Amino acid sequence: MSTDPTAPEVRNLKQMLQYQEQAVVSRMLVKNPAGNVTLFAFDGNEGLSEHTAPYDALIIGVEGRAEVTLGGVRHTLGEGDSLLMPANVPHAVHPVGGFKMLLIMIRGVKE
């Protein structure tokens, strides 16, 4: 094991973030000009109301299950499932019990 805190390390996404009662917890894993990667843990009764984002995003289910509404269409997302969400399309996340997901947001490159 390296003593360098910046050294790459294999981590388990399920164990990196714990559920908190009546809360949505998040942890930013990567943030740079190209985009960011955020891990979320939703308590069973918590979610994200409908909103839009200015960038394309990819959701990857890490644990549990959720109903994700994207442009008015409902999708069921479970562990290992992914859903691409285009920029500016309304979306919402409604967990079915505890749910963990990885959100990868990609910013457009300006030329």
**Mean pLDDT across the stretch 64-73?**
97
**Structural domains in the chain?**
29-106 (2.60.120.10)
| CB 17 within 8 Å of CB 64 | no
What does the alpha-carbon distance between residue 38 and residue 27 come to, in Å, rounded to a whole number?
6
pLDDT in tens, 78-100: 999 999 999 999 999 999 999 99
**Mean pLDDT across the stretch 35-39?**
95
Position 109 pLDDT exceeds 70: no
pLDDT in tens, 44-53: 889 999 999 9
Stated pTM of the model: 0.87
| CB 79 within 8 Å of CB 49 | no
